[in-house]
Copies of this chain bind each other. A is one copy, B any other.
Amino acid sequence: MPIENFFNLAERGRGVERELAPGITATVYPGEHAMVSIVRFEPNTRGTLHHHPEEQWGFCQEGSGKRIQGDLTVDVGPGDFWRTPGDLPHTMEAGAEGLVVVDVFAPPRKAYEKAGSGFGTEDA
C-alpha cells in the first residue's frame, strides 16, 4: 500500500507522467508551494532551451551531463545541484550513461500539473 506523501525516485504511476522530449520523461508530483519532477534522460539526449517564471532547483541523482543556463555550460554529476532563477533560459544534455535529475519548481508550474508532452513553455 502506498503511503500518502511518501514516494521513491524509481516509482511510476503515482505522479503525473510527461514526455518532455524524445528519450526524456518526467514523473511530476505537484505540491502546494513547490512541485517535484523526477526527470530521466536516455544516454546522449538533450532538452530544448526554454524558460519559465518559476524558480527551479535541480539535483543530479544518477549519471552525468551538462547543465546549460544563461551563458554557462557546466559539467554535473551525482551530488551536484544548482539554482535556476526565474526566466533564465536553460536546458540539459545527458552523457553516455544517461541522467536522472530531481527538479523542484517554486511556485509549482501549472503546465506540469497534467500529463502530456513537451516542456510546457515557449522556447527561449
Contact = CB atoms under 8 A, between A and B. Distances in A.
A32 B55 contact: yes
A82 B31 contact: no
A86 B34 CA distance: 12
Interface in A88-118: 102, 104, 106-107
Task: Tell me whether chain A's interface is mostly helix, strand or loop, or mixed.
Answer: strand
Given A8-B79, A81-B9, A57 B74 contact: no
A56 B48 CA distance: 30
Interface of A: 3, 5-10, 29, 31-34, 36, 54-55, 57, 59, 67, 69, 72, 74, 76, 79-86, 102, 104, 106-107
